[in-house]
Structure 1
Amino acid sequence: MLFFASRRLQSALMLLIVTGPLFACASRPESGYLTPVAGSSSVTSEHTILVATTRERDMRPGTLFNGERTSSLDHASITVSVPPTHVPGKVELASTAPGKPESSFVVRDAAYIDGDQAFIQSLNAQLAQRPPGSRRVLLFIHGYNTMFAEGLYRFTQVVHDSKAVAVPVLFTWASRGKVSEYVYDNNSATAARDDLEHTLRLILASNAEEVNILAHSMGNWVAVEAFRQIKISGNLENTGKIGSVFLASPDIDLDVFKTQMRRIGRPDKPVYIVISKDDVALGFSKFIAGGQVRVGDATNAQELADLGVTVIDLTNLEGDDAANHAKFAQLATVGPELGKVLGKGLGQSTAQRQQTAGGTLGAILGAPIRIIAGQ
């Protein structure tokens, strides 16, 4: 039937082709890539990632979780090493599983964690390794078309490149990691709202002093819905621990997002929305949604800023992926410099709000970043 496809459908199919995996490799890391690899750790950097997931356990060796849904929240602890040849912003994935520590991201150790209490104990043990004042958590929620290993390795790259001292926690929902499964993924994300809320409340009840949140693509739908549910519940215990929230390339209908923000209210903590008007993946999502603008490729950044958030416009930044959907990962390489720019505060006049981040930040990225502060 494709021979009779309309031009509009043909365009959508082309978008499907280019919005594939974010990793430049011959195969995607479905099975075997999480097999623990032994060897000296003296030449690599290692990061222990705590996992909360709505994915089904996968009994295949070196896989841990697949893309099917489970009825209960599950947990794991995984230590990942980054090769000494790592290029900032990249994920060096082995061409064949499980890979070599000298040249690719590999797992050093992995174990399931059974139950909420064991998860909290593991989290508190990690926090105790940080001095008081530095006991922070970074919670990451991945996006559409993401296999478990892909989300794990991408988050590790962000943690490594940003030199984050926070305890990294990955919330991973049941994405099948297939371009053709957009509707399944969207429903899986929706089904994960309660579990993300539960996970967030567990983290807030831990010994963490601050919890910062990063969501990407469709993961923003899960995150913002969880925030909305917390607000509606009226149980705001420990929510003062929430620090900065980064919503990268949000795959959310702009009108829906406005209604969510009206329920949540104007944020009293920093909320940053990372957008790019050349995001091809969100262009595909917009097509499926009948032409409705997505937050992550909104043409009117000021309209978003008026909701009380700060917009980081990366349109002029050249992306590392063909779909320009993973530009947020490049921000990790300039985490401290970006923090300094944002920490100085942005003026409230139109001229001051529309700034170009220069100096060290601009030089590192090689392209300007437009920052528009919320009012």
Structure 2
Amino acid sequence: MRIKRSIVAALLLCGGLALTNAQAAPDLLLVGDVETAVAQKDFDQAIARITNALATTPQQDTEVRLDLLQRLAMVYEVAERWSDAAQTWEQGAAVLARWKGERVPELSQWYEAASKAYERAGLTRQAFEQGRAAFAVDQANLGAAHPALVPARQRLLALATEIGDSEAVAAYQPLSRGRGRQANVPTVPVPAIDHINVDYGEVNPNNFARVKVFFGTDRNVTGSRKPDSYFGGERGQFNWGTVDVSVPRTHKPGAVERPSIMSFEVHESPERHMVLMSMTVLDGQEALQEMRRTLEQQGSDQAFVFVHGYNVSFADAARRTAQIAYDLNFPGLPILYSWPSRASTLDYIADTAVVRHSGRNLLRFLEEIVQKSGAKRIHLVAHSMGNRALTDALELYAVRHAQESKPAFDQIIFTAPDVDAGLFSEMVQTIRPIAKRLTLYASDQDLALSVSRKLHGSRPRAGQAGDDILVMNAIDTVDMTALGDDVLGHSYFANDASALSDLLSLFTVAQGPESRCGLVPRASNRGEHWQFDPARCNGSVWLSAMSLWHARGPQALDYAKQMALDAQASSVTQAQQEWQQITQALEQLIESAGPRR
């Protein structure tokens, strides 16, 4: 089970929510204390530790409270206090339903856990009721005849038979062909190479786009038949594959649209939300062949690899990768590397322990992409704790490929790296030869880095700005503090001043900071670096200009001028002004870029 998204992590690429003054940072040492107590079979101590944390966590900190309830239920289960566990799962389900609505997909996991705990406690009636609630959520999201519902239907039939509920026995009989929509749902294959397709019912494909995200992951396979929960938060065998993510036509750049109780939405739809529509697990060589085929179809030679940070599920990382690719109109392969983060607010220490184990897997993944994907311009973007895996992988890559004459990577962007600043400085010197440009995005408003610094003896983190901002000749340091605690996130982008435009500048023409929109030089006691000033850059104009540059090259300027003339002829003043601004941005872009590569 995963409890999604943190109210704590101020995520540059992962869209975390900012803390309000009323919200307190979680006790990140709690996990270790509880695990130690459980290992010593001191269950009372573990339970007391969690219940005390619950008592001191404000009611409005819903996600932290859910995380604590999940841990409390799990401790009860280890202690074989099944009735207490079931009641705690049920309590968490009620909290989640009030927060996100009665049909939010992850709610079924809470109901199912409560049902199984009640069954272990010998309380069959309660087990049936909670199981029925879980089934209702899944049925609302997947459709009545989806194959993923078959095991739950069989279990409910058995429970209904045991309690003698004849109406329920009739209701949960196996569906015959022609009943419901079963005839229209393809049989889900279960070969070694797996494929899952989610039926979202009658949707208009013109109302959303599909972004194919390639992935590599060393997460465990959970056994779930849903793309959202196919991969878990523990270490597992390495898997390659693709996942199709929907992007609604009403999408706002920078956002990751999800169901919201504020909009009275009860289930996800590709016409309104970013959803994982299908997933295919592939053999590594087949995945690389599919990459080559996709690049040939696109007429492109580019790829970017995104490595997510702490407290991120596979599904959320896939959505974010798709959002970046879509918003940048990226002409190439969006590739996700997903390491086994537990996707939990309180699992910072657990994520710290596992992320570096993924470094060698990431190394091999990158080597395969460089050698066999067909991409010639490969960009890397890592966020927060994901930089630990990336820097480990790149340091090894640099040593193993020291004799190669050309850099393997084009742009490498380290966003808010949760890495010791001194160690990062040393590693950058080794990494520098394998990239055309290194960029560091730092912020003085990142709470996750502030918490990390305290946990690491007040030693500076590489992603922190302020007095300890890291400045080196080998890397371009950009202070993104002006964008608050969500440097590449949604609200700032929607206000036409986002670092996404800076990211696209790097991907498009590999400009130095002196030529990029919104960057101004700043001197400090550590040397000269760059500061992003949103007031100096209209993000939407630059994104439009660079998208045209991607598609048309230098001919984009003639196109923009013609569009401005057309807008003038039609007396559409706003459109005329926008195209004039895009024309000016293209003129600057072409002048600074020189001949197109």
TM-score by length of 1: 0.80
Q: In the alignment, is the contact (CA less than 8 A) between 1:37 and 1:98 conserved in 2?
A: no
Determine the structure 2 residue equivalent to 1:173: 339
CA distance in 2 between counterparts of 1:97 and 1:184 reads 33
* 1:74 matched residue in structure 2: 239
Q: Name the SS for the 2:347 alignment partner.
A: helix
- The equivalent of 1:368 in structure 2 is none
The 8 Å contact of residues 418 and 463 in structure 2, kept in 1 or not, is answered as yes
Partner of 2:75: none
Q: Following the alignment from structure 1 to structure 2, what is the Cα–Cα distance between the partners of residues 20 and 250?
A: 24
Work out which of the residue numbers 23, 26, 30 in structure 2 matches 1:13: 26
Q: Which moved more, 1:86-95 or 1:282-291?
A: 86-95
What is the match of residue 305 of structure 1?
Answer: 471
Confirm or deny: 8 A CA contact 1:137 1:166 kept in the other structure.
yes
| Aligned residues of 1:248 and 1:274 also touching (Cα < 8 A) | yes
Q: Could you tell me which residue of structure 2 aligns to residue 125 of structure 1?
A: 293
Q: Percent same amino acid at aligned positions?
A: 25
| Equivalent residue letter for 1:174 | P
- Residue 255 of structure 2 aligns with an amino acid whose one-letter code is K
Which residue is 1:26 aligned to? 100
What amino acid is the match of 1:121?
Q
In the alignment, is the contact (CA less than 8 A) between 1:20 and 1:145 conserved in 2? Answer: no
**Paired letter, 2:100:** A
Distance in structure 1 (CA, Å) of the matches to 2:291 and 2:531: 38
Which residue is 1:331 aligned to? 499
Q: Is 1:99–2:268 an aligned residue pair?
A: yes
**8 Å Cα contact 2:482-2:533 kept in structure 1:** no
1:40 equivalent in structure 2: 204
Deviations 1:170-201 (A, max 9, x none): 00000011122112211211100111000000
The 1:240–1:308 alpha-carbon spacing in structure 2 relative to 1, beyond 3 Å, is: closer
Task: Indicate the residue corresponding to 1:218 in structure 2.
Answer: 385
CA contact (8 A) 1:216 1:249 kept: yes
What are the equivalent positions in structure 2 for 1:146-161 lying under 5 Å apart? 146-161=312-327
Q: Which runs of 5+ in 1 are unaligned?
A: 1-9, 366-375
Note if 1:191 corresponds to 2:326. no
Q: Deviations over 1:143-196 (max 9, x none)?
A: 001111111111111111111112011000000111221122112111001110
Deviation at 1:226, TM superposition (A): 0.5
Output the CA distance in 2 between the equivalents of 1:265 and 1:244. 11
Contact 2:445 2:484 in 1 (8 A): no
Instruction: Assess if the C-alpha contact under 8 Å between 1:173 and 1:192 holds in 2.
Output: yes
Find 1:203's aligned residue among 352, 369, 374: 369
User: Does the Cα contact within 8 Å between 1:279 and 1:325 map onto a contact in 2?
Assistant: no
Q: Distance in 2 between matches of 1:305 and 1:19?
A: 39
**Structure with larger RCO (C-alpha < 8 A, sep 6+):** 1
- Partner Cα distance (1:341, 1:137) in 2: 14
Query: Normalized per residue, which structure has more helix?
Result: 2
User: 1:208 and 1:157 mapped to 2: Cα distance?
Assistant: 21
User: Are the structure 2 counterparts of residues 216 and 332 from structure 1 closer, same or farther at C-alpha, using a change threshold of 3 Å?
Assistant: same
Partner deviation per Cα, 1:292-325 (whole Å, 9 max, x = no partner): 1111114247x633241111211011345xxx79
- Does residue 1:363 correspond to 2:529, yes or no? no
Contact in 2 for aligned 1:137/1:210 (Cα 8 Å)? yes
What is the rounded CA distance, in whole Å, between the counterparts of 1:29 and 1:285 in structure 2? 32
| Paired residues of 2:412 and 2:435 also in contact (CA < 8 A) | no
| 1:56 alignment counterpart | 220
Q: Distance in 1 between matches of 2:479 and 2:522?
A: 16
Q: CA deviation at 1:350?
A: 6.8
| Structure 1 residues 267 and 143: CA distance shift in structure 2, 3 A | same
- Structure 1 residue 61: Cα displacement: 2.6
Contact 1:251 1:282 in 2 (8 A): yes
* Distance (whole Å) between structure 2 residues aligned to residue 155 and residue 97 of structure 1: 25
Distance 1:11 1:356, change over 3 A: closer
Mapped pair 1:275 → 2:446? no
Residues 338, 267 of structure 1: alpha-carbon distance in 2 compared, 3 angstrom cutoff: closer
2:309·2:383 contact (CA, 8 Å) conserved in 1? Answer: yes
Q: What secondary structure does 2:453 align onto?
A: helix
Larger radius of gyration: 2
Query: Relative to structure 2, which stretch is displaced further, 198-207 or 336-345?
Result: 336-345
User: Following the alignment from structure 1 to structure 2, what is the Cα–Cα distance between the partners of residues 182 and 263?
Assistant: 28
Distance 2:437 2:533 in 1: 21
- Write the distance in 1 (CA, Å) between the matches of 2:391 and 2:325: 22
RMSD over aligned Cα, in angstroms? Answer: 3.6
TM-score by length of 2: 0.52
CA–CA separation in structure 2 for the residues paired with 1:212 and 1:36: 31
1:289 aligns with 2:289: no
Q: Does structure 2 retain, via aligned residues, the 8 Å contact 1:334–1:361?
A: no
Q: Which residue number in structure 2 is paired with residue 316 of structure 1? A: 482
Q: Which residue of 2 aligns with 1:182?
A: 348
State the Cα distance separating 1:335 from its structure 2 match. Answer: 4.5
Which residue of structure 2 lines up, in the alignment, with residue 163 of structure 1?
Answer: 329
